[in-house]
A and B are shown apart, each in its own frame.
Chain A
């Protein structure tokens, strides 16, 4: 807390006589007072403070006291001490005691102020005071008057009816200071919460309605201040205040004043960091000049204008004061005005008499008085150079620039300073100008390429554009004059418009002289002369290799015995066709080596060089051919390999399309890698380990032009992988894609050689047979042998043998018919199945069955007669096992037999169970047997003596298997005993 003495009381000038009188009276009074005190201490001091009034200034949170001291004699003055006590909330809570010493006069109203840290609205304050005569020069205890009564300062009564207040309002503090905030609640709510920028604050209760919050080292948050607000737990009665926190005002730096015209002074300074407050609360700057006593309030924060006095004031002593509500800062500056002249920039910069090589620059300056001379500095920028000149100037300046380049843009600039007392240069004033054009100074650099097309010389001319210092202006066109040396043809004149850099000329005759000039708007350049000779030149010069370096290609050649006017080196990229970007370089006659360097050289590109000597007749002749790389690079690609002649032991690789000339380095040869499962390498190869740790065999080919290779000593039916890659001095090609091959079987070719003709022959035979099948059939296996057509018949006839004839079917008596009933198992029970056993119908007398030969019976095979087959083959003739012989007798004739068969068949339809039945003929050679196959008779049946068995070619289905087979079913049926039949 601070106390502030307000200088409200003014001093009255008193005459010296009166002063001495009053002083004497004061001493007398003081002595009498001391005596009075010593005699009776209980008496009050006669000069006690009276009429104490307390007022509150809430803006500054100040208590303002005013009082008087009575009983002072007229013109009486005392130096008195007033002890002031301030209590808060209650009188016993004294928070401030201060002794205020001042000189007291008669009838004077005294004032004293005190600034409270706590907002005065937050609590009642009580003030009282007492006084004593300031007797510092006299020893002894101080005698105090009695205390005045307590005066109360209570602002809360005048707050109004709002339920909540927060104080102080809109307080301005400096960053880092401590602030006390309080709220006053009139609604007796206890749940009021307060926040600083949204963060709740913790305070202390001053009384039941007042809480206090101490904020230490408050920080700057924003220009618009820090929001502090309180709100009750219920309702919408938010109240708040804004705490304006200012950054600390900094002292102005680099304070300086200068004049441009002796009329005004421009004072500038660096205000430092802004206090960061609203414009109304921000700092202000005041300029004070002590010699003139003038003062001006600056409108800007970093500069201020000062009007120079009309009278000649040379010396100035300035004080710059920076001030805000909280702090003041000031800096001083003393100077002589003539030493602080900063001239204005020159003006009216002009150029006169501008030619191709010279120009005159003129300018004007603002006068700073007729007694002052300006020093001007002129700079000229052009062609990458800077020239500087200093010139003394009164009013106007001029400078001649000579030795300029034609058709060139220059920048000229000028600035000035006080020549008598240099302070600062003015700003530059600059202007551009361009010199006039002139005729080109140099002949164009020309080269040619001569070729013969259909017996006619065709010259391709190349020229380099003239550089800017050579062209002296914009080149408009190139003139070409062709003069034929044998003078049989008229000279030709051509004009090629710029910016062409070459042209192709078919010549009437090879021997000619070509003159090339370049022209701009002013004139023509000197001519370049080329002579085209009829002789083609020494094209048979052997090509050499040259190794490029970082600096370029070092080339050298032998000095020529004959006189040359110079050498020329030309180069271009490989390949030359189509024509590359031809480059060339002219060299002097005494030069036999050079380094050709170019930014256009690229690694991995092959360049071809030709060195020519230029004869005195301007005829070029080839001296050397060189080729090389500025930097060789490892091959990026492998040749495209074609594999041929694959055998079980070898194959051939070929990459004839691979060009060794257009690679990224000189090809030295090839490596052939061969991977195999065996992993063995034969002679001529060596083991190599690839990057992926795969071991393979490597064959080396040293000749880059050998582009075929035979891989031998392979295993049949083996899998191989191979790769052909070129190798150079900087490495070989990539090991990326191995081709795969599997060798064939060793015998396969032989087999193929045999099998193919065999198959062919078989096919041929089959086709032939097919085509002649009818013939073959007739010859080899006719369909039905016709006995009447048989050759045997003719033989019989020829022999006239009456006993030999063909038996007629009518002459045959069948011996037996086997009737089979095929049972469907699912529809009949086992017992029922047994009741349907096959039945044999014996057509012959069977008292002694097979025991003796009976009469001859011939049975014609019905299968050869379709009609018979249809009617009988599917018939089933179930015959009861004990059929009477009388019935059998009826069957002795074929007609009866068929009838009987038909009749029995019809009668037995109802008796035949569901299933298949079949009618089979039993061979006359078969003998009836009983039991199973194990009971086969040991004696073979005897054939009937007179019986003759006709040829039976067709066999019903199911009876094709030979009768001797045990597994056979139907054929074996004939071997079964009566009543035993197995399906």
Chain B
């Protein structure tokens, strides 16, 4: 219950802070296509396992046969691509912003178990990437119609509880961290694909009615409130 309450209130809080902090984040591009391309590129970069997962596996000694097979995303940690596709663009951006906040928190926790400065630098770089990505999400959200609306994050099913309770056991925590990062890269791959679909059909939106140029002709597809069932996750993009 506590977690559910947190997941309901936190995203709206974060998104509100995000919008309120626009002057702090600097100026945004007013060219939506260019911004979308930038988001795609960022997602392409962030989906690479060499950016985060592989160094983590190596530093934690998980790169052993019989062990690395267990470094797979746990169902329910991140929303699937299908769940993302069902969202409207505005909902997707909000959900994305929320998920990345959780990733940031989790990365900070993972840093405690990383002794080498080089690996720490890798995590810090990933965090910077996420922050940059969040900034662009914020800018993209401003270009969307109805950006002034304050709504709670959409229910996207499994992604609503991305951060499992850390276990005191170092080994389990290590394995969970590995699975989390695996899911993170898969998630960013799905995000990149969804953005690519946006670019391929710029005039189509799933759930929003047209208000401005880019989003003209958008169609709103309501998502069931009760659709919180965990969906099976795919494997990492190959």
Residue of A nearest to B70 (CB): A238
Interface hit among A218-226, A302-310, A728-736: A218-226
A170 part of interface (Cβ distance < 8 Å): yes
Q: How far is the CB of B187 from chain A (nearest CB, A)?
A: 21
Contact of B61 among A169, A221, A238 (CB under 8 A): A221
Residue of A nearest to B119 (CB): A224
Let me know if B61 and A195 touch, CB within 8 A.
no
How far does the alpha carbon of A980 sit from the alpha carbon of B115 in the complex, in Å?
Answer: 131
B129 part of interface (Cβ distance < 8 Å): no
How far does the alpha carbon of A170 sit from the alpha carbon of B174 in the complex, in Å?
Answer: 12
Residue of B nearest to A279 (CB): B115
A629 part of interface (Cβ distance < 8 Å): no
Let me know if A170 and B169 touch, CB within 8 A.
yes
B59 part of interface (Cβ distance < 8 Å): yes
Count of A residues near B, CB < 8 Å? 25
Q: Which residues of B contact A242 (CB under 8 A)?
A: 170-171, 174
A198-B67, A229-B67, A238-B70 known; A224 vs B115 contact (CB < 8 Å): yes
Central interface residue in B61, B70, B116, by most chain A CB within 10 Å: B61
B194 part of interface (Cβ distance < 8 Å): no
Q: Which residues of B contact A279 (CB under 8 A)?
A: 115
Let me know if B169 and A241 touch, CB within 8 A.
yes
Q: How far is the CB of A281 from chain B (nearest CB, A)?
A: 9
Let me know if B65 and A223 touch, CB within 8 A.
no
Residue of B nearest to A197 (CB): B64
Let me know if B67 and A169 touch, CB within 8 A.
no
Residue of A nearest to B170 (CB): A242
B126 part of interface (Cβ distance < 8 Å): no
Let me know if A198 and B66 touch, CB within 8 A.
yes
Q: How far is the CB of B112 from chain A (nearest CB, A)?
A: 8
Count of B residues near A, CB < 8 Å? 21
Residue of B nearest to A277 (CB): B115
Let me know if A238 and B115 touch, CB within 8 A.
no
Contact of B60 among A170, A224, A236, A238 (CB under 8 A): A224
Q: How far is the CB of B234 from chain A (nearest CB, A)?
A: 18
A198-B66, A198-B67, A241-B169 known; A225 vs B61 contact (CB < 8 Å): yes
Q: Which residues of B contact A223 (CB under 8 A)?
A: 115-116
Central interface residue in B64, B65, B115, B175, by most chain A CB within 10 Å: B115
B87 part of interface (Cβ distance < 8 Å): no
Bitwise, B62-76 to A at CB < 8 A (1) or not (0) is 101111001000000
Let me know if A195 and B175 touch, CB within 8 A.
no
**Number of A-B pairs, beta carbon distance below 8 Å:** 62
Q: How far is the CB of A1 from chain B (nearest CB, A)?
A: 25
Within A251-279, the residues touching B (CB, 8 Å) are: 277-279
A227 part of interface (Cβ distance < 8 Å): yes
B44 part of interface (Cβ distance < 8 Å): no
Residue of A nearest to B113 (CB): A224
Let me know if A227 and B115 touch, CB within 8 A.
no
Q: How far is the CB of A167 from chain B (nearest CB, A)?
A: 10
Q: How far is the CB of A245 from chain B (nearest CB, A)?
A: 12
A231 part of interface (Cβ distance < 8 Å): yes
Let me know if A225 and B67 touch, CB within 8 A.
no
Residue of B nearest to A222 (CB): B61
Bitwise, A263-302 to B at CB < 8 A (1) or not (0) is 0000000000000011110000000000000000000000
How far does the alpha carbon of A239 sit from the alpha carbon of B62 in the complex, in Å?
Answer: 13
Residue of B nearest to A236 (CB): B70
How far does the alpha carbon of A229 sit from the alpha carbon of B115 in the complex, in Å?
Answer: 22
Q: Which residues of A contact B175 (CB under 8 A)?
A: 238, 240
How far does the alpha carbon of A241 sit from the alpha carbon of B115 in the complex, in Å?
Answer: 18
Residue of B nearest to A231 (CB): B66
Q: Which residues of B contact A239 (CB under 8 A)?
A: 171-172
Bitwise, B48-84 to A at CB < 8 A (1) or not (0) is 0000000000011110111100100000000000000
Residue of A nearest to B60 (CB): A224
Q: How far is the CB of B54 from chain A (nearest CB, A)?
A: 15
Residue of B nearest to A166 (CB): B171
Q: How far is the CB of B73 from chain A (nearest CB, A)?
A: 13
Extra A-B contacts (19), CB below 8 Å, given A169-B169, A195-B67: A169-B171, A195-B64, A222-B59, A223-B115, A224-B59, A224-B60, A225-B61, A225-B170, A227-B62, A227-B174, A228-B171, A231-B66, A238-B67, A238-B70, A242-B171, A277-B115, A278-B113, A279-B115, A280-B112
- List, sorted by A's number, 20 A–B pairs whose CB atoms are closer than 8 Å: A169-B168, A169-B169, A170-B170, A195-B64, A195-B67, A197-B64, A198-B64, A222-B59, A224-B61, A225-B170, A227-B61, A227-B62, A228-B171, A229-B66, A238-B175, A239-B171, A239-B172, A241-B171, A242-B171, A278-B115
Residues of A within 8 A of B (CB): 169-170, 195, 197-198, 221-229, 231, 236, 238-242, 277-280
7 residue pairs, one from A and one from B, having the closest CB atoms: A198-B64, A240-B171, A223-B115, A242-B170, A170-B170, A227-B61, A242-B171
